[in-house]
Every structure is written in structure tokens, then in C-alpha cells.
Amino acid sequence: MDRRTFLGAVGTGAAGLLAGCGGSGDTTTSTTSSTTEQTTTQTTTEQGSTYTVSMEPMGEVSFDAVPTSWVANNGSYADMGLALGVQEPKALWLTGRWHTNYYDEIDGVSADKSEMVSLYQDGVSKERYYALAEGEENHVHVQDPNFLMNRFKGWSESDVEDVKNDIGPFFGNSIFSRGYAWHSDYQYYTLYEAFEKIAQLFQRTDRYEAFATLHDEFQSKLDGFVPTSDAERPQVAVLWATGDQPTSFLPYLVNEGTSFKQWRDLNVRDALAETSVKDFHSSRGSIDYETLLKIDPEYLLLRGHEGKTAEEFRNTVVSFMENHDTASELTAVKNGNVYRGGPLYQGPISNLVLTERGAQQLYGHDEQLFDRQRVADIVNGNL
């Protein structure tokens, strides 16, 4: 079935929240974690008209039919759905953080967020979940239930059970970050491990396999120019910069979460990791220009500006830093090495775009690293 646009939801998106903090901050509630040994299985078991897919922290989840309606936690999973050629999710935690402009350069691939709902709107309403699923028979929540309980005050395990039993199952894992204490006791997944699970969920493993092959070819091209010696690796700092005239920054240390996949694949050297600066996820702290000047990384990769073009970013954020008394002394500013740092969430398609962009930023590699037409063909089922 070709990709089709689903226009079944109403509502408006919430204002953007600071650096991925949907809700009122970290809380400590219960954590759901399956004890079954089968949660790492990468296969789907067919049993007549039903099938079962396994993913932590839910464990095995059975489906009587392929879901035709869904909500997703973030743009990582929305991008996976797009790659598989399924309808857009009816809602995301924050719709503004699925950056569909990445698809503009790939003819035949697009996404429509015009009717999509933000789950977070000055809180996360359980009633909104019921409203989104009204009239739907095969509805699924591609969300980590522990994210819902631990990133927003007001949701309990009983609330999750109500939604699961009354509407449809949860099936997701918070893959974008490995900085949450509540995620320490169950499995993380790489981008493509999670993508395979979502492909099993929507019964589109053929498209997953086609993307996995494309990704392998992409990685082999990176091997041709990405340095391996420490002396040649570019030294970077990934920071969240709020507004067009930032004077303080939230530090993000490069880790194994999927939001850093392009930087790991490009083998960067994390300047912040070589200091006492703590990751924002654990410290909730910020750093100023004086601290940044002491570290003085070769490249500054600033998050929070993915809605801008490269030119718009240069004309606002970079221009401000070039004219700022302290910022203008930074090596990265002097050398013109201040770039957009990528989003919190990425899936298989956006990862190709972002990694290619990063190769241009760090290494001046201007050649296309992936076949746009092949991406469009897979999305539209021309395998």
C-alpha cells in the first residue's frame, strides 16, 4: 500500500519547551519493565490472523490486525513510519520537533503535519488520548510508557493501564537519549534496532530491509573519508542555543542515544567530555561564553535552530556571535565553524540527511552520500 496522509485529528501544537523537557520536569514514579527473556527477539511470530512483536519495556505485544491509527512520542518514530510508507501519526509529544523540512530535498517524500496534535499542551491530558482514538479499531501508542510517567507529573501506571486496556497498546522505547535514570534497568535500542521493531509492528519488514541495505552502503562511503586517528578527529561541542541571540547554552555530551548518531558516525571528538561540564540531562545546568572560551572547541554545533536554513542561521545566530565581545574570541566563531547541531529526534531518513550535512560541515565533503531516488522508491513501495 502506498503511503497515504491521515487527516483524522484536530487541535493545535503547544509552544516549544526547553531542550526536550516536555512536561514539568523529571519526576520519579514507577517504571514498567518486562521480565520476559524474549524481549530481545528480533522476529515476529505469526499465529493465525494475529502476530506478536517484542520490545522493551513492554515485552511481547500481540496484535489482531496491523494498526491503522497511531500516535508517536517524537519525530524519530514519525520518521520511521514515513520510511515504511504508513500514514503520519495523529499526534506527537511536540509536533514542532518533527522537522519535516529535511524531506524537502528528496523528491517523492513528504509529510503533512497540518492536522497533527501535540500531546503536550500545558500538560498531557489522558482525555486527549481517548479523543485521538475515537472511532479507531486498530490504534497503537508508539511511546515508551516510562517516558510518559517520568517526564510529566500526573501520570501513573494505572493511567497507562487504562489507556492500554481501553484504547490500544503501548509499543516504544526512549531511544533518543541514554541520560535518564529511569531507563537504566531495561534495554536500549540503536536507531536501526528500533526501526526493525516498528517495521515488525506495521508488518513492513521488506522496506526496513531495503533501508538497512541503503544504510550499510551509506556507512561504507563514510569510511572513505572519516578519520580514525585522534589527531585528525574534529573537536566539537554540541549545545542547545535558545533564541537568535544566545548568551548561555545547555551542554549535550555525545552519547549512545540516537540523537547523536550522525556525530558518532562522523567520529567527532567531544570537547565537553574532556572537561568537568555535566550533561544537561543529568545536571539541568547551563554554561556561558566565559566557560565556553576556556574549552574553546574547534566546532560549535548548536541545537534548537533546525527550522532555519543554513543562511537564516548564519544571518541570525552566527552573526550575533561574530559581533559579541566574548563569543567573537571563540576559535569556532573566528574560523566560521558554527553550525546547526541537529535535532533531538531522528529516524532513518532524517539521519541520512543529517549525516550528509555533518560531513559537509566538518569535512567539507560536498558529494551526495545517498541516493535520493532510492529513498523515495522505498518509501513508496517500489522495492
pLDDT tens for residues 351-383? 999 999 999 999 999 999 999 999 999 999 999
Which residue ranges does the chain devote to CATH 3.40.50.1980?
A: 18-215, 235-364
Q: How far apart are CA 231 and CA 222, in angstroms?
A: 18
Residue 214's pLDDT is 98
In sequence order, the 6+-apart residues with CB closer than 8 A to the CB of 33 are 56, 57, 146, 185, 186
Contact 239/302 with Cβ under 8 angstroms? yes
DSSP assignment letter at 14: P
Question: How confident is the model over 271-289, as pLDDT tens digits?
Answer: 999 999 988 877 788 999 9
Q: How far apart are CA 193 and CA 164, in angstroms?
A: 24
CATH architecture of 235-364: 3-Layer(aba) Sandwich (3.40)
**What does pLDDT average to over the chain?**
89
Q: Which burial class, exposed, middle or buried, applies to 230 when counting CB atoms under 10 A from its CB (0-12, 13-18, 19+)?
A: exposed
Averaged pLDDT, 104-118? 96
Residue 27's pLDDT is 36
Specify the residue for cell string 535520493: 372
246 or 281: whose pLDDT is higher?
246
Residue 30's pLDDT is 45
Q: Which CATH class is domain 18-215?
A: alpha beta
Residue 333's pLDDT is 98
Q: Which residues are registered as beta bridge partners of 269?
A: 235
